[in-house]
Structure 1
Amino acid sequence: MDTFHLQRVKEAFCTGIVITTASGAHTPPQIMSFQ
């Protein structure tokens, strides 16, 4: 379950980066909160 959770967190983090990059708004605080 720990590995599965880690995978979900990684996917969520990557998704947050993609959305942030796509919107052109570099806001680290939002990424940290999203993670």
Structure 2
Amino acid sequence: RSLDHIAAVLSVGKSTVARALSRADQELTQTQR
């Protein structure tokens, strides 16, 4: 039960980090141009 909760939190955290990284990458590429 608790493992399912931890897995859900981890999945949400991964998606949030992925979004932040993609946004930062886009901003960096735009700044270089």
TM exceeding 0.5: yes
Unaligned runs of 5+ in 2: 1-7
Q: Which runs of 5+ in 1 are unaligned?
A: 26-35
TM-score, length of structure 2 as denominator length: 0.70
Mapped to 1, the partners of 2:14 and 2:23 lie a distance apart of: 14
> Which of structure 1's runs of 4+ aligned residues deviate more than 3 A?
none
Larger-Rg structure: 2
Identity, % of aligned positions: 0
Backbone CA RMSD of aligned residues: 1.5
User: Alignment length, in residue pairs?
Assistant: 25
Higher relative contact order (CA 8 A, sep 6+): 1
TM-score, normalising length from structure 1?
A: 0.66
